[in-house]
A and B are shown apart, each in its own frame.
Chain A
Amino acid sequence: MSSFLERLMNGHEGGLKHEGMTPMQKIALRFVVIGLLFYGLAALEGMIMRLHEIKPLPMIDESHFFSIMTVHPMVGIFGSSYMIVFGAFLFLTPYLMKKPIYSVKLADLSWKFMAAGTFIMWLAGFLFHYAPLYTLYWPLPVDFEQFSLIGGITYIVGVVGIMIGTFLFTYNIFKTILYTPPGWEKQPSWELFKSAIGIEGLLNFFRRRKKEHLVPLPIAAISRGTIDMGLNAIVISSAGVLILIYFLGELFGASLKDTWVDALLYKNIFWWGLDLIADGLVLIFVAGTWYLLAMLISGKDLFMQNIARAALFLEMVVSWTVWSHHLMSDQGQPNVLKVVSGEMVTAFELITQGIAVFITLVTLWRARPLKMSNELKFLLGGILGFMLAVPAGIIQADLGMNRILHNTQWIIGTHVHVAILVGLTMTLYSAIYVLLPILTNNSVKLYSQKLANLHFWLHLIGGIGMGAFMGMAGMDGMLRRAIYLNGEYSTYMILAGICGAMLLVAFALFLYNIVMTIGINGLINIYKPATIQTNEAIPPQKEVQ
């Protein structure tokens, strides 16, 4: 076998040694691998849409284009970001709490439900062109003149799978934090719960003698973000049940009137739930991940840890009251909600995220000089992404600006894509680089640092550039959910397309680097049962590093 094929199959310097891995190490990697593959799918879909926005492609009609637009964010968020986050946190929670995970079986079921649910949901778009977008504005999801019943049912079945996976994750995380493992001394569950969600931290503000925190700071972030995740899953599941009732009515010949549901009230409830992702768990998880990464990279305690905990708690409360900035162009929405929830509460996100940036950077600064490792450079890229995207969000959550920016490419480019692709994804890449040696018991060595550097620069420049050119098109009136047939914004779209291609190439280089590092056999072995049977995060004989 040539050396290339040998390395492709068996990885760099022997690749992944899976024999010594615990079930949790394998499950975390299963999540990450599937999450990366779904990222690739979302990136391909994004590129198809970019090309169609430059010049409409003859093989793609409107229903096909909008079905891609419907599944693209769902695959990106649930199939990719959720999967990678779930894998990391299901491993980190027992690892940081220094106790076994509550249930390996539930963790394993979680990735299966998430992966299958995302794939089924994607099929609804690919096969049946079901295209109500992720917003599901009532009564579009039940518009049977535009969409087939089978497409709708397939979509909902997929979403149900994703939500079951999410509930399993949420339950497993909280159980792991609170439960008493067999043979252990009774754990103070209530005290742990108070510490995890921030009640103890809040009470500490009013105490002379501060109580010690029972859970580490990253666990506090994981808990608070997971609460938002659970609440969001309840809202999305409820919307799914409602839509399913209409589907079943249609199926059995008893069409229900869509006017029975108040479209504006539905929009409020749905956005309340949906915003728990965008303005809740993403910001909380990201802040918690930054803190953990800063501590691991610097080897030092977090700067201003109590402030960081308070900011995480504040962010959770803010996420429950911030939804109305999505309804600032709805004239029926009361002005008091637009101003208080839409403008003022949203402004708090500048403060909470600003605190996270400050604390992370100062923590790193205190440990200088640091080596510019992959995890550090991607962490700085992630911080930069949010420094660009959060103020863009604050700007559009203003009554004056929203009137001329709502539903333009500014929203989805400068704010959403910069936040997700540069802010969130680069943070996740940093976490992957930090976790890779821990998850593989230091058995792998990165195939190529040059490829890692190329991945970094192409992703950073591509992500910021694409957001910038989309934003400029938006300021010139280009809508985010529209097709332009006459090349109206082609200059911006060509430039955004070039940047999109950089992102796609960056991902291909990263994937190639990881495959060559681990080897195809190593990747396959991740999905084989672990030889060690334990609920511990890492092999018991190894020291926690």
Chain B
Amino acid sequence: MADSIDVLSTLKVVYTIYAWIVISLIAWFAYNITRDGRKEGAKPAIFYTYIAILVVIGTGLHFLTYHTVPWVPYDLNRHKITPDKVFHITYKDHNITIEGEVPMLIHCGDRVVFDVKSEDLTYGFGIFRQNGTMVTQMQVVPGSRNDLLWIFDKNGVYNIKSTEYSGPKGAYMEVKDAIRVIGCMEYDRYSMK
């Protein structure tokens, strides 16, 4: 199953290629605009094909990720999925309190829900690997439902950080080694201890 590192590695390659294409295009345009040559405008067919391509890219991206990024379907169908385990976490006074044992022990492939409550400010809930890369995140809004369903398919030990600014006092909100995933065939090589 693809994880955030796989998805972001793909993004890095695709976006870098795209960036060099548009930089080259503008450079080519800048060079040729100063030279004499054909001056006619674009034919309507070219314009409408271009628009069609933009429509396909703009909307196609979402269909693509729905079918290739694992967490999109279960994010959208969250209300239909019964979790195997729910972890309750409370944010208050710039502290993160996990109910029950720490680290939170998760079995491979279990559908777990992180049910997070804020008793004062808006915070963020992010799961991070040992090398600092992000696994997933959500906002933690006071008075609102903040529950994130996630499935882990690699063994590893993960940290929790607040991903939203909650004032200077919240600059370093983190619980090290808050999650431990066991029972998988594969190990998360960026998150082993």
Q: Chain A: residues with CB nearer than 8 A to chain B?
A: 61-63, 65-66, 129, 131-133, 135, 137-140, 143, 146-147, 259, 262-264, 267, 303-304, 307, 327, 329-332, 335, 339, 343-344, 347-348, 350-351, 354-355, 358, 361-362, 364-372, 376-377, 380, 383-384, 387-388, 391-392, 394-395, 398-401, 403-404, 406-408, 414, 464, 468, 471-472, 475-479, 481-483, 485, 488-489
Whole-angstrom distance between the alpha carbons of A325 and B76 in the complex? 15
Whole-angstrom distance between the alpha carbons of A407 and B69 in the complex? 19
Besides the known contacts A344-B59, A404-B4, 11 further A-B residue pairs in the complex with CB atoms under 8 A apart: A66-B168, A146-B168, A264-B141, A358-B42, A358-B47, A369-B35, A414-B15, A475-B11, A479-B126, A479-B161, A482-B161
Known A143-B121, A365-B33; contact A331-B145, beta-carbon cutoff 8 A: yes
Per-residue CB contact flags for chain B residues 116-144 toward chain A (1 = under 8 Å, else 0) read 00001110101011011111111101111
Per-residue CB contact flags for chain B residues 83-102 toward chain A (1 = under 8 Å, else 0) read 00000000000000000000
Whole-angstrom distance between the alpha carbons of A68 and B50 in the complex? 42
Assess the B51–A351 pair: CB atoms within 8 A.
yes
Known A132-B167, A335-B76, A483-B171; contact A403-B26, beta-carbon cutoff 8 A: no
Interface residue from A329, A372, A482 paired with B139 (Cβ < 8 Å): A329
Interface residue from B54, B57, B143 paired with A262 (Cβ < 8 Å): B143
A/B interface sample: 16 pairs, CB < 8 A: A137-B121, A139-B142, A264-B141, A330-B138, A331-B144, A331-B147, A344-B62, A350-B57, A355-B51, A368-B34, A391-B57, A399-B72, A399-B76, A401-B65, A404-B7, A475-B12
Whole-angstrom distance between the alpha carbons of A392 and B61 in the complex? 12
Closest 6 CB pairs of A and B: A347-B58, A400-B69, A400-B65, A332-B144, A481-B165, A62-B168
Whole-angstrom distance between the alpha carbons of A123 and B122 in the complex? 25
Whole-angstrom distance between the alpha carbons of A201 and B57 in the complex? 28
Q: B26 — which chain A residues lie within 8 A by C-beta? A: 380, 383-384, 387
Q: A351 — which chain B residues lie within 8 A by C-beta? A: 51, 54-55, 58
Q: B139 — which chain A residues lie within 8 A by C-beta? A: 327, 329-331, 406
Assess the A394–B61 pair: CB atoms within 8 A.
yes
Known A263-B142, A368-B35, A368-B39; contact A392-B15, beta-carbon cutoff 8 A: yes
Assess the B168–A368 pair: CB atoms within 8 A.
no
Q: Which of A65, A331, A347, A398 has the most CB of B within 10 A?
A: A331
Q: Which of B141-193 contact A (CB under 8 A)?
A: 141-148, 161, 163-169, 171-172
Q: Which of B1-56 contact A (CB under 8 A)?
A: 4, 7-8, 11-12, 15, 18-19, 22-23, 25-26, 29-30, 32-37, 39-42, 47, 50-51, 54-55
Interface residue from B51, B76, B141, B165 paired with A330 (Cβ < 8 Å): B141
Assess the A263–B141 pair: CB atoms within 8 A.
yes
Q: Which residue of B lies closest to A384 (CB)?
A: B26
Whole-angstrom distance between the alpha carbons of A332 and B65 in the complex? 22
Whole-angstrom distance between the alpha carbons of A362 and B18 in the complex? 21
Interface residue from B7, B23, B61, B172 paired with A483 (Cβ < 8 Å): B172
Assess the B165–A133 pair: CB atoms within 8 A.
yes
Assess the A404–B145 pair: CB atoms within 8 A.
no
Assess the A368–B42 pair: CB atoms within 8 A.
no
Q: B161 — which chain A residues lie within 8 A by C-beta? A: 479, 482
Q: Which residue of B lies closest to A303 (CB)?
A: B41
Assess the A404–B164 pair: CB atoms within 8 A.
no
Q: A147 — which chain B residues lie within 8 A by C-beta? A: 167
Q: Which residue of A lies closest to B52 (CB)?
A: A351
Whole-angstrom distance between the alpha carbons of A369 and B38 in the complex? 10
Interface size on B, residues (CB 8 A): 76
The distance from the CB of B12 to the nearest CB of chain A, in whole angstroms, is 6
Assess the B163–A267 pair: CB atoms within 8 A.
no
Q: B134 — which chain A residues lie within 8 A by C-beta? A: 404, 408, 477
Q: Which residue of B lies closest to A369 (CB)?
A: B36
Assess the B137–A264 pair: CB atoms within 8 A.
no
Q: A392 — which chain B residues lie within 8 A by C-beta? A: 15
Known A332-B146, A401-B65, A407-B164; contact A372-B34, beta-carbon cutoff 8 A: yes
Q: Which of B41, B145, B148, B172 has the most CB of A within 10 A?
A: B41
The distance from the CB of A328 to the nearest CB of chain B, in whole angstroms, is 9
Interface residue from B40, B126, B128, B167 paired with A143 (Cβ < 8 Å): B167
Assess the A354–B54 pair: CB atoms within 8 A.
yes
Whole-angstrom distance between the alpha carbons of A368 and B172 in the complex? 56
Q: A339 — which chain B residues lie within 8 A by C-beta? A: 62, 76
Q: A132 — which chain B residues lie within 8 A by C-beta? A: 167
Whole-angstrom distance between the alpha carbons of A348 and B55 in the complex? 8
Q: A388 — which chain B residues lie within 8 A by C-beta? A: 19, 22-23
Known A368-B32, A404-B134, A407-B163; contact A259-B19, beta-carbon cutoff 8 A: no
Q: Which residue of B lies closest to A344 (CB)?
A: B59
Whole-angstrom distance between the alpha carbons of A236 and B169 in the complex? 26
Q: Which of B35, B68, B124, B139 has the most CB of A within 10 A?
A: B139
Whole-angstrom distance between the alpha carbons of A140 and B161 in the complex? 19
Q: B136 — which chain A residues lie within 8 A by C-beta? A: 403-404
Known A264-B144, A347-B59, A398-B62; contact A368-B133, beta-carbon cutoff 8 A: no
Q: Which residue of A lies closest to B71 (CB)?
A: A403
The distance from the CB of A386 to the nearest CB of chain B, in whole angstroms, is 10
Assess the A479–B36 pair: CB atoms within 8 A.
no
Whole-angstrom distance between the alpha carbons of A372 and B169 in the complex? 51
Assess the B8–A475 pair: CB atoms within 8 A.
yes
Whole-angstrom distance between the alpha carbons of A354 and B53 in the complex? 10
Interface residue from B33, B35, B128 paired with A364 (Cβ < 8 Å): B33
Q: A133 — which chain B residues lie within 8 A by C-beta? A: 165
Known A146-B169, A329-B138; contact A476-B65, beta-carbon cutoff 8 A: no
